[in-house]
Amino acid sequence: MTATATDLYPTRGAREVSVPRQDPVTWSAPGTPGPIGAAELEGYDRDGFLTVDQLLGPYEVAHYRAELDRLIADPAVRADERSVVEPKSRDVRSVFEVHRISEVFAALVRDPRVVGRARQILGSDVYVHQSRINVKPGFGASGFYWHSDFETWHAEDGLPRMRTVSVSIALTENHDTNGGLMIMPGSHRTFLGCAGATPRDNYKRSLRTQDAGTPSDEALTGLAERHGIKLFTGPAGSATWFDCNCMHGSGDNITPFPRSNVFIVFNSVENAAVEPFAAPVRRPEFVGARDFTPVV
């Protein structure tokens, strides 16, 4: 399909390209009240991420863990196309659109501690572009290779601008050994347009193992040399907010310790998806929403 908006971030062409960011990182006017303090917001603007040591208390963690366990044990959920399983073990890897199939996670999306930070960063009302639980069990759960979420959401979902923020809320402890999130601080200031066309129904493969939209080794080396790599550790209940264009990934989990989290993507209602910029068809709505109703 042909996009109906100007393409500020070309990707999936004949060669890899690097483009300076054309959008703000934080969209609220200075001094706008919200749950994020001025110094934290400045750090988010600079680094592309913000950590909250204890977003959820122990009782809340247990509540959401129980719901995660219920969902992955439900045969109907496992059989649903919104569930993704590990290629080797066939264990459930992720369940998408959890805010629609679970009132427990829908309530978390509406929690002022969660949606309030998204509104403050993006400077507007927001809707959920994507939600999922990531299970990442021990003994061999595969990681997520280096990528920018915005590159995929722009190319395959049609998000026009970088006005999107993700939050990863830990439901188990993030050790330095069990496949934790890694981000290159400051990488959100550069858009890396990847080489190669997007196959039809690419999402079916990319949710298990990435191919299209993967940066070259040379580009990743350059970004890592300039920005370094930050590994996120912390207890269950901690959260990491990060900009849509951060270069990030995570390794395999070969330890006995699972790394489970709930992942919510908020997009500004002023940045609603158009047609894909570099894909033959839209991805399914459980991966990239087309319902732009604000979270209330």
d(CA 214, CA 218): 12
Residue 205's pLDDT is 64
Per-residue pLDDT of 226-236, as tens digits, reads 999 999 999 99
Whether pLDDT at 196 is above 90: yes
What residues form DSSP beta bridges with 285?
A: none
Question: In Å, what is the CA distance from 168 to each residue of 47, 52, 64, 219?
Answer: 16, 10, 13, 25
Structural contact between residues 295 and 125, judged by C-beta atoms closer than 8 angstroms: yes
Task: Give the three-class secondary structure for 120.
Answer: helix
Residue 208's pLDDT is 53
Per-residue pLDDT of 142-185, as tens digits, reads 888 999 999 999 999 999 999 999 999 999 999 999 999 999 99
Per-residue pLDDT of 29-81, as tens digits, reads 988 999 999 999 999 999 999 999 999 999 999 999 999 999 999 999 999 99
Q: Around Cβ 200, how many Cβ atoms within 10 Å?
A: 10
Residue of 188, 172, 159 lying closest to 275 (CA atoms): 159
Residue of 56, 58, 75 lying closest to 167 (CA atoms): 56
Residue 274's pLDDT is 97
d(CA 50, CA 40): 7
pLDDT confidence tier of residue 211, bands split at 50, 70 and 90: low
Q: Quote the mean pLDDT of the chain.
A: 93
Q: What percent of the chain has pLDDT over 90?
A: 85
Residue 2's pLDDT is 43
Query: Two tokens at 151?
Result: 């590159």
pLDDT confidence tier of residue 112, bands split at 50, 70 and 90: very high
Structural contact between residues 175 and 257, judged by C-beta atoms closer than 8 angstroms: yes
Residue 67's pLDDT is 98
Query: Two tokens at 123?
Result: 């400077």
Mean pLDDT, residues 261-281: 97
Structural contact between residues 169 and 261, judged by C-beta atoms closer than 8 angstroms: yes
Residue 213's pLDDT is 87
Whether pLDDT at 210 is above 70: no
Mean pLDDT, residues 9-19: 96
Task: Give the three-class secondary structure for 175.
Answer: coil
pLDDT confidence tier of residue 3, bands split at 50, 70 and 90: very low
